Homo-oligomer: A and B are copies of this chain.
Amino acid sequence: MEKHTLGNKDRYEILYNAVLESLKNEDQDRTRELIQDSHMADIAKIFEELDHEYKDLLFLFLDDEHAAYVLAELSSEEFFEYYSPLSIERKVSILDYIADDDIADILGEAPEELKNRLIKLLDEEEAAELTELMGYDEETAGGIMTKEFLSLEANMTVLRALDYLREFAPDAESVYYLYVIDNDGKLVGIVSLRQIIVASPMQKIGEIMNEKVIYARADTDQEEVANMVRDYDFLILPVVDSEDVLIGIITVDDVMDIIEEEATEDILKFAGTSEYDFEDYDDKVFSSVFYSVKSRLPWLIITIFGGILSSFVVSKFQNVLTLDTAIAFFMPLLAGMGGNVGTQSSTLTVRTLALKDLRGKDVGRLILQEMLVGLTVGIICSLIIAVVSILVNGQMILSIIVAIAMFANISTAAIIGTLVPLIFKKVGVDPAVASAPFITTTVDITGLFIYFSLALMLISRIS
Bound-state Cα–Cα, A348 to B441, Å:
21
A340 to chain B, nearest CB (A): 5
A352: chain B residues at CB < 8 Å are: 278, 281
A431 within 8 A of B: no
Residue of B nearest to A445 (CB): B332
Using a CB-CB cutoff of 8 Å, which residues 180-239 of chain A contact chain B?
187-189, 193-194, 197-198, 211-217, 220, 224, 228-235
A224: chain B residues at CB < 8 Å are: 7-9
Residue of B nearest to A188 (CB): B1
A351: chain B residues at CB < 8 Å are: 264, 267-268, 278
A45 within 8 A of B: yes
The 4 A-B residue pairs whose C-beta atoms are closest, nearest first, are: A307-B333, A263-B263, A271-B347, A233-B253
Query: Is A166 a contact of B444 with CB atoms below 8 Å?
Result: no
A213 to chain B, nearest CB (A): 7
A36 to chain B, nearest CB (A): 10
Query: Is B361 a contact of A51 with CB atoms below 8 Å?
Result: yes
Task: State which size class the interface on A falls in.
Answer: 35 or more
Question: Can you add 17 more A-B contacts, CB < 8 Å, to A263-B267, A270-B270, A322-B325?
Answer: A1-B189, A37-B212, A38-B212, A39-B232, A41-B233, A252-B256, A270-B347, A271-B343, A271-B348, A273-B344, A285-B369, A286-B372, A289-B372, A307-B330, A315-B329, A318-B326, A332-B448
Using a CB-CB cutoff of 8 Å, which residues 1-47 of chain A contact chain B?
1, 3-4, 7-9, 37-39, 41, 45
A217: chain B residues at CB < 8 Å are: 4, 7
Contact with B along A133-176 (1 / 0, CB 8 A): 00000000000000000000000000000100110011000011
A259: chain B residues at CB < 8 Å are: 256, 259-260, 263
Query: Is B332 a contact of A331 with CB atoms below 8 Å?
Result: yes
A80 within 8 A of B: no
Which of B162, B194, B211, B355 contacts A170, CB < 8 Å? B194
Contact with B along A334-374 (1 / 0, CB 8 A): 11110111011011100110010101010001001100110
A103 within 8 A of B: no
The verdict on A332 contacting B307 (CB below 8 Å), with A212-B38, A300-B341 known, is: yes
A288 within 8 A of B: yes
A301 within 8 A of B: yes
A175: chain B residues at CB < 8 Å are: 194
Which of B276, B281, B337 contacts A303, CB < 8 Å? B337
A266: chain B residues at CB < 8 Å are: 263, 267
Query: Is A340 a contact of B436 with CB atoms below 8 Å?
Result: yes
Residue of B nearest to A252 (CB): B252
Among the listed stretches A85-93, A123-131, A380-388, which one makes contact with chain B, having 4 or more residues with CB under 8 Å of it? Answer: A380-388
Bound-state Cα–Cα, A188 to B3, Å:
10
Using a CB-CB cutoff of 8 Å, which residues 253-309 of chain A contact chain B?
253, 255-257, 259-260, 263-264, 266-268, 270-273, 276, 278, 281, 285-286, 288-289, 292-293, 296-297, 299-301, 303-304, 306-308
Which of B7, B230, B288, B348 contacts A268, CB < 8 Å? B348
Query: Is B333 a contact of A335 with CB atoms below 8 Å?
Result: no
Bound-state Cα–Cα, A306 to B4, Å:
49
Bound-state Cα–Cα, A235 to B314, Å:
59
Contact with B along A429-463 (1 / 0, CB 8 A): 00000001100110010001000000000000000
Bound-state Cα–Cα, A166 to B201, Å:
12
Residue of B nearest to A214 (CB): B39
